[in-house]
Structure 1
Amino acid sequence: MGLTSTKVLVLAVVVAVLLFAATIWLWPRLSGRTWRSVLGRIGMLLATQLALFAAIGLAANKSFLFYGSWADLFGQEDQMGVVVDHAGAGGSKEAQLIGTQALDVPGGNKPAVGGQIQEVRIEGRDSKIVSPAFVYLPPEYFQPEFKQKRFPATVVLTGYPGIAMNLIKGLRYPQTALMQARAGKAQPMIMVLMRPTVAPPRDTECVDIPRGPQTETFFAKDLPRAVSSAYRVGTKPQNWGFMGNSTGGYCAIKIAMAHPDKFAAGAGLSPYYKAADDPTTGDLFGGDENLKKRANLLWALDNLPAPKTSLLLTTSKKGEDNKKPTAEFIRKAKPPTKVSSITLDSGGHNFNTWKREIPAVIEWMSKKLTA
């Protein structure tokens, strides 16, 4: 059983509970002052504490993926990386295939049953940015009866600093998309899973920085072009969506608004509405006030033509600090922009909140895109 498996976590919790119950049950028998009783009490307390810490550690590691395996945890993973050249996925030079992995679902070892996750290397033709990504392909992509079919695609971004693997193992976007499709609530779609930090370690907020990384160009132009050249995805705006959480949510809304000719829809889970300005971002705009204003989405609603795109925003009545600006965004939006929202009664800025929203977000996105 792997370090991040649910079975290991459940086993650790069960052992901790049993040891706690055993300690309570046996404590009267170990209440004497003999050395055996003292050692017995010490042993029971230590065993219970270790089991509890192990369960908590496994839960934290499963959520945040600090270590990927037992060998990684104990420092035994010493195999050096080896460069392997591959033919591009689908013959594309801009999206080069690195490797594949099965989806963590029943039957996931068969692509035609569980789909497949492909790790690729995206080379931005215009931005000159090179970044890794994971591409989720639904089961239908591998089924003979759909071999001529094109699929809608959605870019999915983490928050900052985030790692793309969290979208698979933590937030389980591909697994949820598969379940929604099986339930008839969403159409099969391709997902391009990434973090917004494509010029690490800098937080570029998905903007084109003067004399710096052209992140907006990468996400709005290079990425859709590269994926469409490698996979059966169309190139029209109705074929493409954009979603993400936190920083990724801001990026999704901003790029969908600024590039309705590329994306028909954008969904932000707990988004904010203007570019961050802190030590991780540096000077994003080179002193250009017009660029800074454009990155403020509330300003854009007031001062720029309303884009023809559909947007979904999420917040909560308690726990999120974007409730007021979300309400302001909804109030300012005007046709042809279409805005929808999800408002939870309670939910903080965390994985648990977003996992409660993702099924509805995928269903909404599916209705906005066509193959």
Structure 2
Amino acid sequence: MVLTGWPFMFLLSMTGLMCAAGTYLSWMRWPGRWALPGRVASLLLVMAFGGVLALAQVNRSYGFYTSVSDLAGRPPSTHSLALQAQIHTGADVAVLTPHWVTLGRRDGLRGHGIMLNVLYPGTRSGLTHHGLLYLPAAYFTGNTERRFAAVEVFHGYPGSPETFPRLMDIQTRLETEIDAGRVPPVVLVIPQVYAGGQSSECVNAVHGEQWETYLSADVLDDVTRTFRVDASRSWATLGISTGGFCAVNLALHHPERYAAAASLSGYFTAGEDPGTPSLYQGRFASRENSPLWWVRYRAPVATPLYLSASGGDPEAMQEARAMTATLRRYAPSLPTTTVLASSGGHNWGVWSAAFGPAIDWIAQYLPGPLVAPPAELT
């Protein structure tokens, strides 16, 4: 059962209500010597369920843990298990959604795209993970030779790709921007960005898993090979919280692949998530993966950055201000937009509201659907 869904909340509420009713009905029925311990135990049980319900509501609001396996420190879904890739070179994305082409054409005629469950294989990194992929309505209607730009979207820690449709309704929000003409029809690529109980920060760990290679090379190449997604510099990144760190760090490292990057409530110094210092095993790897250090000592001229934070999230606000100041001083030619909201916190309500402006900003750096040139005759 999904820990952020209404069925789980309803089950907890009903269980708590039954405990309260049981305590009330049994209060005067406890026999002699069992009266005091029985009443105390009943009260403690009611209070415990109240605490669990409160924590569940906080978890639902923030999307910290979406499944029991995620809570237990295992991959967030049965599809997310990290596998040592035994896949031939040139492997395609495996679509797990049955009859997706038929469903896509049907929804496309209604003006809607389709969100697919997929497996992203990793031929270079040796990783294969579950994820989501959104194809816009235009993918299934009109010219079937058109190729599309893509936005790679990164979730936070803890989290999973499924949090975007569940807690943000990302497809509806994107299609609102597409229908309004503020964003061209784009593909959303939403991969898993860590496995197990420790954040990967989307980096190539020293003597560990190669997440940067997986996300910036394997996923991009596999998607462009499987779908009509443009292979040129027509990709962008967008992430929330830890995913915001991933979005900026990967885009700065690979300006030849990413045309823009947006961070919503992200941070910009490596090793800030619990347990992540072990990924680097030394100052060199840590600083190379810190966007603040990268900007100061590499003075990049690409990729354009969009930084967003809110007043109710002091850590993200401080990070955004520090990154903006560093960019202005050491990389003044790098296009940067910083949006600081006066209120809000570190939650899905803030990220949902910030998504529209962020994707609109990204759109100026992405081409519209392109028609592939005809194949050369040999």
Q: TM-score range by the shorter chain?
A: 0.7 to 0.9
**2:154 aligned partner:** 157
How many angstroms does 1:214 deviate by? 0.5
How many angstroms does 1:324 deviate by? 2.7
**1:49 aligned partner:** none
**1:319 aligned partner:** 313
SS at 2:258's partner residue? coil
* Equivalent residues, number: 305
CA deviations over 1:137-182 (Å, ceiling 9, x no partner) = 0111010x13111111001011011021111121122211111111
From the superposition, tell whether residues 223 and 67 of structure 1 become closer, same or farther in structure 2 (CA, over 3 Å).
Answer: closer
The residue correspondences of 1:1-371 to structure 2 (distance < 5 A) are: 63=61, 64=63, 93-99=91-97, 110-113=107-110, 114-143=112-141, 145-197=142-194, 199-237=195-233, 239-277=234-272, 279-281=274-276, 283-287=278-282, 289-333=283-327, 334-370=331-367, 371=369
How many angstroms does 1:302 deviate by? 1.1
Separation in 1 of the partners of 2:176 and 2:133?
17
Task: Tell me if structure 2 keeps the 8 A contact 1:177–1:188.
Answer: no
Identity across matched positions, percent: 26
Separation in 2 of the partners of 1:56 and 1:201?
23
From the superposition, tell whether residues 5 and 221 of structure 1 become closer, same or farther in structure 2 (CA, over 3 Å).
Answer: closer
From the superposition, tell whether residues 307 and 182 of structure 1 become closer, same or farther in structure 2 (CA, over 3 Å).
Answer: same
TM-score (norm 2): 0.71
CA deviations over 1:31-89 (Å, ceiling 9, x no partner) = xxxxxxxxxxxxxxxxxxxxx99x99997786549789xxxxxxxxxxx99xxxxxxxx
SS at 1:268's partner residue? strand
SS at 1:331's partner residue? helix
Separation in 2 of the partners of 1:57 and 1:108?
42
How many angstroms does 1:109 deviate by? 6.4
SS at 1:99's partner residue? coil
TM-score (norm 1): 0.72
**1:75 aligned partner:** none
How many angstroms does 1:245 deviate by? 0.2
SS at 2:345's partner residue? coil
Separation in 1 of the partners of 2:322 and 2:58?
36
Unaligned runs of 5+ in 1: 10-51, 69-79, 82-91
Separation in 2 of the partners of 1:245 and 1:213?
22
SS at 1:110's partner residue? helix
Task: Tell me if structure 1 keeps the 8 A contact 2:271–2:277.
Answer: no
How many angstroms does 1:346 deviate by? 0.4
From the superposition, tell whether residues 61 and 142 of structure 1 become closer, same or farther in structure 2 (CA, over 3 Å).
Answer: farther
From the superposition, tell whether residues 120 and 275 of structure 1 become closer, same or farther in structure 2 (CA, over 3 Å).
Answer: same
Please give the root-mean-square deviation of Cα atoms over the aligned residues, in Å.
Answer: 3.6
Deviates most, 146-155 or 322-331 = 322-331
